[in-house]
């Protein structure tokens, strides 16, 4: 199980590109990378999951935690590039109603 996490920071915007699988084995790496970033006051975090081919509930838990952290620090959190399968996962769990998910990738996340 491999995961790659690339972070690009410009002013108060963070572009995070995740590739691979997010599961019980790789989620701790994702949490370790994203949580410190999510504690910055007013951060705008955009996470691109277009190259994630699998995610389980452990991954969803990481994103819920990061989302709550970002919001508690007056920031913005968005997930882009969801495959149909991942989009359905967010919809089934009700997270699509809470977290800003957008299937379109906006400029800057490479």
Strand order in the sheet with 76-80: 3-10, 13-22, 44-55, 76-80, 100-102
The answer to whether residue 109 scores a pLDDT higher than 50 is: no
Q: Which of 92, 36, 33 is nearest to 60 (CA)?
A: 92
pTM: 0.90
Q: Which of 52, 45, 62, 53 is nearest to 18 (CA)?
A: 52
CATH superfamily for domain 3-102: STAS domain (3.30.750.24)
Place of tokens 């994203």: 34
**Domain chopping of the chain, boundaries:** 3-102
pLDDT in tens, 18-34: 999 999 999 999 999 99
**What whole-number distance in Å separates Cα of residue 56 and Cα of residue 39?**
24
CA dihedral (102, 106, 109, 110) in degrees, to 10, reads: 110
**pLDDT above 90 as % of the chain:** 85
Q: Please, what sign has the CA dihedral across residues 26, 45, 13, 75?
A: negative
């Amino acid at each position: 199980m491999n995961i790659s996490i690339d972070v690009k920071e410009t002013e108060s915007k963070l572009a995070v590109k995740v590739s691979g699988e997010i599961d019980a084995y790789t989620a701790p790496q994702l949490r370790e990378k994203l949580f410190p970033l999510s504690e910055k006051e007013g951060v705008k975090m955009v996470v691109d999951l277009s190259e994630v081919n699998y995610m389980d509930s452990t991954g969803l838990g990481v994103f819920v935690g990061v989302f709550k952290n970002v919001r508690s620090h007056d920031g913005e959190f968005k997930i882009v590039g969801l495959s149909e399968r991942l989009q359905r996962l967010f919809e089934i769990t009700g997270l699509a109603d809470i977290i800003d998910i957008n299937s379109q990738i906006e400029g800057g996340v490479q």
